[in-house]
């Protein structure tokens, strides 16, 4: 046995099971297995016992579901972070939390190393390594799968030779990662972006074609951008703990086929990857939260917050949540959420989650200004002067530079074609 220790992020699968014995042999380290529960639907006691049978000197289970939702998923929801506009970042949000728990365990157990089962091609290796280096630069990182370069058949043979208890039957054709915020699926036939995802790629959502013909209506209550209550009646909602609320929305959304995402995304390592995601709760909540912000944030706040959300999504995806830049942006987001309190009425039907109603005690929507009916309080006479001032700069430029007063051809009026000459050049 080794004289020093390493804490391994242990899933119970083939890679990390083989890694226990491989690390012990190559690095002469005792392995402590740490399995983190972020809602990934495993029998964790079975996983713990497997780690011990495989050679780990200790095996711990960390129930991090509440921390994951409160400290990672919900702040991401407040920010509105969707990578490349579609992916709610479920896997990316979980990795920094797992890295933090690895570091905590290593310090508690006196280990000098931490290890994970990521490959050299994916994003997760970066998320783990960068997070660990930010939190504990003194710890050495081992990534066995990145080092050994074994094929799956070679791993199975290694497991058999060393009596490692892992299943050697036909594996799933997909690589799957899941937590409370979403399920990601890749590999197999999905690697050809022309192929429609087969139905067996999905586990949380019904095919929208076979979803109920009648909608389900739900109401979600928010306090400062955080969902706190859920109900099927606009006036009667039940306060729920974060994990219970997300779990219930995954069930409700999945029953209507809500939350399927088929996306070709740009990985951090410079390749494009076809990913299929299921994220019913995240999809419903992002839609509802955006609807409530439409009532409670000004136009300038919404415009700039979209820029911040895009920047934060990139930082989350790249594994830089523990950076000063991410922390600074988080303060801005927290400030924007002070008045994002209210209720959103949602319709779930045939794969779509649609906000059909929203209300807030902090609403900036003024009926007297918005209505076209009796009670209109808008100052119509002021509109003419407003438009005159608003267009002043444009009218000056049009007169001086753009030839106002003539009747130019439509072609090239707004945007030149690719073969048009550069401005100011001659075409002779």
Active site members: 15, 95, 124, 175
Classify the C-alpha dihedral 384-386-392-398 as positive or negative: negative
Q: Where are the alpha helices (DSSP H) in 90-192?
A: 90-109, 124-135, 144-148, 152-161
Locate the DSSP E strands across 199-302: 216-223, 226-233, 236-239, 260-266, 272-278
What is the Cβ-side half-sphere exposure of residue 154, based on CA atoms within 13 angstroms?
A: 7
- Secondary structure (3-state) at 150: coil
- Secondary structure (3-state) at 258: coil
Q: Which residue has the tokens 């690719």?
A: 418
Burial of residue 27 (number of CB atoms within 10 Å: 0-12, 13-18, 19+):
middle
Number of Cβ within 10 Å of residue 123's Cβ equals 19
Per-residue tokens: 248: 């219930």
Which helix (H) or strand (E) covers residue 333, if one does?
helix 324-336
8-state DSSP, 338: G
Burial of residue 348 (number of CB atoms within 10 Å: 0-12, 13-18, 19+):
buried
Q: Which residue has the tokens 């909540």?
A: 285
């Amino acid at each position: 046995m080794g004289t020093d220790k390493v804490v391994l992020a242990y899933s119970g699968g083939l890679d990390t099971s083989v890694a226990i014995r491989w690390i012990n042999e190559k690095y002469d380290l005792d392995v402590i297995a740490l399995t983190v529960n972020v809602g990934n639907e495993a029998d964790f006691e079975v996983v713990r016992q497997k780690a011990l049978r495989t050679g780990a000197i200790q095996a711990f289970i960390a129930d991090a579901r509440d921390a994951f939702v409160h400290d990672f998923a919900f702040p991401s929801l407040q920010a509105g972070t969707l990578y490349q506009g579609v992916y709610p970042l479920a896997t990316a949000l979980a990795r920094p939390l797992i890295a933090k728990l690895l570091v905590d365990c290593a310090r508690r157990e006196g280990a000098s190393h931490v290890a994970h089962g990521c490959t050299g091609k994916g994003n997760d290796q970066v998320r783990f390594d960068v997070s660990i280096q930010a939190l504990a630069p003194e710890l050495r990182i081992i990534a066995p799968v990145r080092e050994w370069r074994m094929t799956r058949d070679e791993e199975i043979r290694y497991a058999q030779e060393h009596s490692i208890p892992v299943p050697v039957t036909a594996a799933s054709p997909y690589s799957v990662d899941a937590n409370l915020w979403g399920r990601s699926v890749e590999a197999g036939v999905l690697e050809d972006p022309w192929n429609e995802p087969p139905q067996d790629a999905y586990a949380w959502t019904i095919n929208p074609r076979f979803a109920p013909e009648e909608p389900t209506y739900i109401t979600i209550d928010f306090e400062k951008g955080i969902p706190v209550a859920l109900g099927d009646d606009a006036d009667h909602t039940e306060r729920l703990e974060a994990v219970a609320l997300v779990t219930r929305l995954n069930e409700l959304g999945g029953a209507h086929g809500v939350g399927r995402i088929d996306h070709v995304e740009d990985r951090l390592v410079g390749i494009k990857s076809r990913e299929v995601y299921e994220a019913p709760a995240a999809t419903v909540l992002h839609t509802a939260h955006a609807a409530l912000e439409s009532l409670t944030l000004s136009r300038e706040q919404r415009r700039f917050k979209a820029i911040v959300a895009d920047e934060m999504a990139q930082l989350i995806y790249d594994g830089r949540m523990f950076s000063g830049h991410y922390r600074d942006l988080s303060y801005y987001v927290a400030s924007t959420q002070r008045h994002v309190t209210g209720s959103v009425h949602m319709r779930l039907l045939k794969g779509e989650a649609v906000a059909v109603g929203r209300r807030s005690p902090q609403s900036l929507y003024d009926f007297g200004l918005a209505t076209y009916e009796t009670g209109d309080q808008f100052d119509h006479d002021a509109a003419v002067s407003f438009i005159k001032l608003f267009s002043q700069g444009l009218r000056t430029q049009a007169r001086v530079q753009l030839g106002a007063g003539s009747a130019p051809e439509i072609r090239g009026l707004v945007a030149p074609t690719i073969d048009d000459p550069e401005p100011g050049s001659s075409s002779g």
